[in-house]
Amino acid sequence: MIISEATQSRNLMSKELNTDFAIIGGGLAGVCTAITAARKGVNVVLIQDRPVLGGNSSSEVRLWILGATSHMGNNNRWSREGGVIDEILVENTYKNKEGNALIFDTILLDKVLAEPNITLLLNTVVHEVHKADSEKISSVKAFCSQNSTEYHVNAPLFCDASGDGIVGFLAGAAFRMGAESSDEFGEKFAPTKEYGELLGHSLYFYTKDTGKPVKFTPPNFAIQDITTEIPRFRNFNTKEYGCKLWWLEYGGRLDTVHDTEEIKMELWKVVYGAWNYIKNSGNFPEAETMTLEWVGTIPGKRESRRFEGDYMLRQQDIVEQLTHDDAVAFGGWSIDLHPADGVFSEKPGCNQWHSKGIYQIPYRCLYSKNIKNLFITGRLISATHVAFASTRVMATAAHVGQAVGMAAFIAKNKNLNPAEIIHKNLIGDLQNELLKSGQHIPGYVLNDQKDLVQTAELSVSSEYVLEELSSELLKSLEISTAQMLPVNKGKVPHVIFHAEAEEATQIEIELRISGKSGNYTPDITLEKQILEIHAGRNSLHLDLSAQLEETTYAFVVFNKNPKVKIHLSEQRVTGILSVFNSVNKAVSNYGKQTPTEDIGVDEFEFWCPQRRPEGHNVAFKLNPPLAKFGKENIKSGVYRPVAEPNAWVAAKEDKTPTVKIEWDQPQEIQTIELFFDTDYDHPMESVLMGHPEDVMPFCVRNYAIKDDLGNVIFEKRDNYQTINTIKLEKSLATKYISITLEHPSANVPAALFAVRCF
């Protein structure tokens, strides 16, 4: 029993925490920052003002995670972000392929709680910043509403991942809010004031069919006449809910920080008014048995403050894919601006313009230019309003967060502030650490001198050679189809394929490549041929004369002709892909991007894959075959397809695919890392959509590792993750190790991007 006498005042319970790195904001960016740093031995305090982690991806908001893959609706092949965010998305797909937002909450919490170097403070709001001097933060003060405790967190390094930038704001860090003029950075897509300078918030709702009639009486605050007050609502579909209703947006004309509660209230009026119309207008009879299952109470924020670093990313960086010596991450979402009036606007809900490929994000965008020990990540990074329209999405924000977490590791070990990593020429160290962790940086290759595999002799039981993909399927050429082939410099192989038709016709075939190495926009046509097709089955020979100037992916394009059916294959191989000149309205892909005015973006066609079980490769024979899957790829330092597959792939008929890694003298090995193919082309949206499989078909499930005495030192069953890190209980002295894989299936040969030993 506690009895406290009356007193004039009392103080809150107070706890002081001392740490290496304080991260404010437990959205996806903050989570990935924290995990990355903690795994490198940095002590982290992660402060989140909500009861769950994940921010906009959490069950409180329920927005799916997307980034450069863009619903598979752009030309960014194999572009899902790597590292921790990849690990999270792969884990979620395995455990939660249906996309339940509550389960995703648990996956994030599991990942954070698994790290002993992270102290997690949920329901804890930072409200004060203390500074050692005008340019340096010394501590933050935060209050937890659930345990009525005030925390004083001291650290030499801070990261603001809070979305609205509460720490940067209180510390006096330079920031911007609103849109830059076209003149300031030469951005032709800079919006007018009439269009608006801020993106608004969205609030989602879920419905379910109860199987029996359900009535709905709207609250008094709901908008009464939705069709006149919300012009765009006329396009509603009762099968759409959750983040498919992203266009229920409002607030771009207000202060998206301080007016958030007002914005939320207006969105509640919209949501309940919309549901009233669906249930009671008579225009949606299919909604008779449907009920509201969930309505968001926290709006999903798109934009507020953006903080200034030593460089501001701009439109030209994205569209022209400019390169940076300090690149540490990449983006690939479209430049995606929304009218400030949101759902009340007559304009389309978004204005998306894609680039031809992914773009680099420099490290100089990830710290404050005037607060010396403050990292910035998530949607706060140093970017113009136009560039922010692409970088703001969560997978990109998480990828950037991983770069910050790794930078904090280097800064802590070297006793540096963020900018000094560049000034002291340590950016190469940062890039290498990121590449080792699985983070892809376009244009960069890992050079790890501590990796024992780099000095080893490799031998393999077999190597896959792309000579033929067998025919099992027949499909009408309703849309133009292209088979991507990893081709060496020089002449393209002779291609034989089969087509069928009920009457004589023709098929037009093109050979295309991308104008930029590492891109997958087939914007250069090297050759065209028209082949005659007779009624019945045709064996067609394509002899291409064009010469390629570099190793790249070539596109053999079969232009649409509904009279023709082509033979397709059930076989799938790492780094081999078919794409289609298709439409994906969800990301403003209408088959071709055609700007109607000079807004600084390119005109080009979209050639995108199809989600499994569709998206089969074309059945074909090649002469000469393509030998692109050799053992040397294990040492390439690139862990995904780029200009070529970058993977060792075993022959299909090899019963025990094995790679042997051998040294002249015994080596001391403590850790072995394997990098498998979890299909970087699949976007793995985290909630709502669902996925056709829980394990990617290219992923090796079972393998065993032996030493030079034939002892099994590690065996794995039912793997589904990209990176497998094996930490041996004690170091192993051996002259070689052998790794034996099982093929994932009869139609998919075993593939391995890399092995690292140290």
Backbone angles phi, psi at 435, to 5 degrees: -60, -40
Residues 363 and 327: their CA atoms lie apart, in Å, by 6
Average pLDDT on 503-507 reads 96
Query: Taking 90 as the threshold, does the pLDDT of residue 40 lie above it?
Result: yes
Which pLDDT does position 234 carry in this prediction? 59
Q: Are the C-beta atoms of 313 and 327 separated by less than 8 Å?
A: no
Two tokens, residue 244: 């498919």
Residues 584 and 604: their CA atoms lie apart, in Å, by 15
- Helical segments of 98-237, H only: 101-113, 166-171, 182-185, 226-229
In the chain, % of residues over pLDDT 90: 93
Query: Taking 80 as the threshold, does the pLDDT of residue 4 lie above it?
Result: no
* Phi-psi map region of 250: left, alpha, beta (phi>0 left; psi -120 to 50 alpha): beta
Which pLDDT does position 240 carry in this prediction? 83
Q: What is the DSSP letter of 365?
A: G
Query: Taking 90 as the threshold, does the pLDDT of residue 692 lie above it?
Result: yes
Two tokens, residue 47: 């402060």
Nearest to 445 by CA among 454, 437, 453, 435: 435
Which pLDDT does position 229 carry in this prediction? 85
E-only strand ranges, 416-479: 457-460, 466-469, 473-477
Q: Are the C-beta atoms of 477 and 560 separated by less than 8 Å?
A: yes
Looking at every residue in the chain, the average pLDDT score rounds to 96
Minimum mean pLDDT range among 90-94, 103-107, 232-236, 606-610: 232-236
Average pLDDT on 687-716 reads 96
- Helical segments of 252-364, H only: 260-280, 315-319
Neighbouring CB atoms inside 10 A of 524's CB total 12
Query: Taking 90 as the threshold, does the pLDDT of residue 291 lie above it?
Result: yes
Give residue-wise pLDDT tens across range 449-484: 999 999 999 999 999 999 999 999 999 999 999 999
Which pLDDT does position 233 carry in this prediction? 66
Give residue-wise pLDDT tens across range 367-426: 999 999 999 999 999 999 999 999 999 999 999 999 999 999 999 999 999 999 999 999
Give residue-wise pLDDT tens across range 532-547: 999 999 999 999 999 9
Backbone angles phi, psi at 184, to 5 degrees: -60, -45
Residue 238's pLDDT band (cuts 50, 70, 90) = confident
